[in-house]
Amino acid sequence: SYKDRLNAARKAAGRKDTMAIGYGSVGGQKAVVIVQDFTFMGGSLGMAAGEAFIKAAREAVARKVPLVCFTAAGGARMQEGALSLMQMARTTLAIEELKSAKLPYVVVLTDPTTGGVTASYAMLGDVHLAEPGALIGFAGPRVIEATIREKLPPGFQRAEYLQEKGMVDRVVTRADLPQVLGRILSMLMGGNRQAA
């Protein structure tokens, strides 16, 4: 039954194979951080991953701190069928809980971020950062070209192209992320630090 599967997913949400959740300081600003693990089933969004995301969002609300999400996914875990697709709606509702609490939600898009993850929580942030050259999209370039029967522009679905088009706010190298994230979080939380 769905209830049994959800309980199993809740139990699995604490395991390493879904998403890692942490609480700490980023550039001097307290935050809850959730990181997808692409090495486990391509970072796919399934019931346990959805449950972990919701747990992280609720932890951020309870602590009154921002949520930072590092995405890395090939999309929804279709082996779970409709149960996996339901996680797109569930994670979206968790983000609404953050917004209702007036807490920032910042997304760092890593390579790759695609499919149902892009169609849900990856693109619902207040600020979207991306690592250089990251592939970000719903369907892959080959699928799109086959569908529209046209050649895509150079760099299509890459972080830099998406920044030019306004879908990504800033492309940031991993070495610069702590400083940039700290400034953004401080600014969004009403701090006195200079904006990024």
Residue boundaries of the structural domains of the chain = 2-188
Range 2-188 classified under CATH 2.40.110.10: no
Interval 116-170: pLDDT, tens: 899 999 999 999 999 999 999 998 888 899 999 999 999 999 999 999 999 999 9
Angle at 45 between CA 32 and CA 134, to 5 degrees: 75
For residue 44 the two structure tokens come to 């796919």
Which among 84, 138, 129 has a CA at the least distance from the CA of 105? Answer: 129
The strand pair at 19-26 and 29-36 is best described as antiparallel
Alpha carbon 77 to chain centroid, angstroms? 15
**Three-state secondary structure call for residue 121:** helix
For residue 104 the two structure tokens come to 């920032």
Q: In angstroms, rounded to a whole number, what is the distance separating the alpha carbons of residues 20 and 35?
A: 5
Return the bridge partners of 21, or none.
34
Interval 37-94: pLDDT, tens: 887 777 788 888 899 999 999 999 999 999 999 999 988 777 778 888 889 999 999 9
Q: In angstroms, rounded to a whole number, what is the distance separating the alpha carbons of residues 165 and 66?
A: 26
Q: Which amino acid, residue 180?
A: V
Lowest mean per-residue pLDDT among 1-15, 61-75, 107-121, 179-193:
1-15
Interval 24-33: pLDDT, tens: 999 889 999 9
Conformational region of residue 175, where left means phi above 0, alpha means psi within -120 to 50, and beta covers everything else? alpha
Report which of residues 36 and 11 the model is more confident about: 36
What is the pLDDT, as a whole number, of residue 11?
A: 66
- Is residue 33 within 8 A of residue 66, CB to CB? The reply is no
Q: In angstroms, rounded to a whole number, what is the distance separating the alpha carbons of residues 58 and 94?
A: 7
Q: Which amino acid, residue 116?
A: G
